[in-house]
Structure 1
Amino acid sequence: MDIRQLSYFVAVYEQGSVSAAARLCCVAQPSLSAALRQLEQELGVTLFARLPKGVTPTEDGEKLYGHAGRLLSQLQSLKASFSQPVARVKFRLGLIRALGVERMSQLLREFSNNVQGLELHLVEPDEHCDARIITPQLLKAGEAFQPFWHDSYLLAMPPGTPLSLQAEVHLADFEQLPLIKRTPCDAWNTLYPELVRRGIKADVRADIQTIEYALGLVSAGVGCALVPNFDTLLQRQDIVLRPIVQLKLERQLGLAYRKNQTSASLTVLRQLCQPVP
């Protein structure tokens, strides 16, 4: 086992895909796959379950991820202790909730790698900050908005529910449907008024704030919840995802910053936040 293997493993874990990890690590996919197989052979375990779209970590993979993250962090700190000190560059980035852990982790890692001496502070979007990742509805006067992520919403439901047998969900299906309300949520703000207008009464079982808790309640069979169409959710076996017809549930995410603001770190972040094709 070596640092290279652990770095490849962490990349696959965070990307949920061997090909995406290979691109991130700037290595050929066969080489990364070979290193991963060698690591599994040395440990005598299977680290990932291969799926039609990507991979998902096994219990042993989850266990190794915690150890690998600490080891790589300690190694980075060790190297930094022998490096010449660099000027610290403070940057406050405001983030709304439910942006997606995997894609945000990749963005922040690339930002840190491209700004030498970056001291990144993640804050609430309404606090003083150098830039914000928000929806257009939260844009303030004097701010520019650079869109780069677009999410549509799906209905997450427990496996085995009658609704999961349908290929798509209609608004009439929400009548007395056990539902988990999540706020703030752009999709909920669109869906609920439309249900009220149509006289459709859903059975709201919980009111929470985070996607993680919502998915936990869905997995436990408490009810259904609106979630963005993150790639990692498509690989989960404990929930079923279905599109909702008759209503367009989506959101636009982008980078907001003051129009008269210029800095080297903001320029880097703007370059990283280019629209996803």
Structure 2
Amino acid sequence: MPVRYTLRQLEYLVAVGEAGSIVAAAQQVNVSPPSISAGVSHLEEELGVQLFVRHHAQGLTPTLAGRKLLEHARMVLREAAALRDLARELSGSIRWPLAIGCMTTFAHAVLPALRRSFADEYPEVRISQVEADQAELISLLRQARIDLALTYDLDLPGDLRFFPMMELPPLVALNEGHPLAQHAEISVEDLAPHPMVLLDLPLSADYFLSFFADRGLRPNIAERTRDMAVLRSLVANGFGYSIVNLRPLNDVAPDGRPLRFVPLGGNARAMKMGMLVSTAVERSQLHRTFLASASEWVRRNSHRLSGGGPLPEEA
């Protein structure tokens, strides 16, 4: 008899494999845990192999067979997304749904205006959005739950392609009374003794901490937060400095207190903002159109987004 399973069940399989538990996977794909559990159990029954080892109160670990099938499930999901995109392209119009992911640290400053610009030109495209950290965006792309992700060049995997749009050098955020606030440029050595407010997101935190590790230093981390608005208010209220890449539209924290932004010296590596896509969607007319529109929007707005600028054309 033929094996019967659905793309949805493959999506559940990949979600469990990446999240490590039924509950976390359910939150990731926005369905109930029993639906995830039933989907995985059905796959195991249909395929005739055990996909996961269940650990009481410790989640699930893929078996050897499970790891191999996870790789193929990801490939099937990518091919299914490519088939969907080909059908859209053959329809000859830009009018299909488009799911966009965006790095949570700058989604508020970039995504709504970028969407507005695209929607004005292509009103029949139905856009949905999700804000997430880098690790979550990569997972969502691999599961074909989003089509493209506007993000940074942080720890990019080989199975996804990054289109750089803009360079964002690191800036030190300080309150007006900070001893370093009047400097024209600040070094990591200058910062090390002072309290730091760390943006504690996966991969982002590693990037900021690498500035110190590269010089054999350890920062004095006084506060941690995953929220950019909270970070700016902590800095403005004197709880420490922070390091950021995207400058807000005005030098004021959400609570109204003033901030200063000073370039970080020492040839610290700049981030690149760009679009991350799976190789399966690059053939889609809709995705190519959105990518071109987003690149142009970023180019036009580069000066207001940061002290950096658009990348050279050849990039």
State if a TM-score over 0.5 links the two structures: yes
Q: Distance in 2 between matches of 1:117 and 1:190?
A: 39
Q: What percentage of aligned pairs have identical amino acids?
A: 16
Q: Secondary structure at the match of 2:176?
A: coil
Which deviates more from structure 2 when the two are superposed, residues 97-106 or residues 190-199?
A: 190-199
> Does the CA-based 8 Å contact 2:95-2:122 persist in structure 1?
no
> For residues 189 and 269 of structure 1, what CA distance do their matches in structure 2 show?
30
Question: Residue in 2 aligned with 1:248?
Answer: 268
Q: Within 2, Cα distance between the matches of 1:269 and 1:171?
A: 38
User: Quick one: which of 119, 129, 142 aligns to 2:126?
Assistant: 119
Alignment CA distance shift 1:196-1:143 (3 Å): closer
Q: Which runs of 5+ in 1 are unaligned?
A: 1-86
Contact in 2 for aligned 1:187/1:249 (Cα 8 Å): no
CA distance in 2, matches of 1:185, 1:227: 15
Q: Are the counterparts in 1 of residues 252 and 259 from structure 2 also a CA contact under 8 Å? A: no
Q: 1:258 to 1:196 in 2, by over 3 A?
A: closer
How far residue 200 of structure 1 moved from its aligned partner, in angstroms, is 3.5
Structure 1 residues 165-244: aligned runs within 5 Å: 165-184=182-201, 188-196=205-213, 198-230=215-247, 232-234=249-251, 238-244=258-264
For the aligned residue pairs, the C-alpha RMSD in angstroms reads 2.8
- Aligned 8 A contact 1:145 1:254 in 2: yes
Pairwise mapping of residues 91-106 of structure 1 onto structure 2 (< 5 A)?
91-99=98-106, 101-106=108-113
Distance change in 2, residues 1:192/1:270 (3 Å)? closer
Instruction: Please state if 1:263 is matched with 2:270.
Output: no
The 8 Å contact of residues 148 and 276 in structure 2, kept in 1 or not, is answered as yes
Q: Cα distance 1:114–1:139, how it changes in 2: closer, same or farther (>3 A)?
A: farther
In the alignment, structure 2 segments of 5+ residues that lack a partner are: 1-93, 300-309, 311-315
1: CA distance, partners of 2:204 / 2:223? 16
Identify the range of structure 1 (186-195 vs 107-116) with the bigger mean alpha-carbon deviation: 186-195
Secondary structure of 1:274's counterpart equals: helix
What displacement does 1:239 show?
A: 0.7
How many angstroms apart in 2 are the aligned matches of 1:171 and 1:186?
Answer: 19
CA distance in structure 2 between the aligned counterparts of 1:253 and 1:197, rounded to whole angstroms: 23
Q: Which residue in the other structure is 1:110 paired with?
A: 117
Cα distance in structure 1, aligned partners of 2:227 and 2:233:
10
Q: Which amino acid aligns with 1:151?
A: L
Kept after mapping to 2: 8 A contact 1:135/1:254:
yes
Q: CA deviation at 1:169?
A: 1.0
- State the Cα deviation string for residues 165-217 of structure 1 (Å, max 9, x = none): 32221222123201101122767434424424645443211111122111010
SS at match of 1:176: coil
Q: Deviations over 1:116-140 (max 9, x none)?
A: 3322221241222111123334544
> Partners in 2 of 1:206 and 1:196 — Cα distance?
19
Tell me the distance in 1 between the aligned counterparts of 2:113 and 2:124.
Answer: 18
Tell me how many residue pairs correspond in the alignment.
Answer: 191
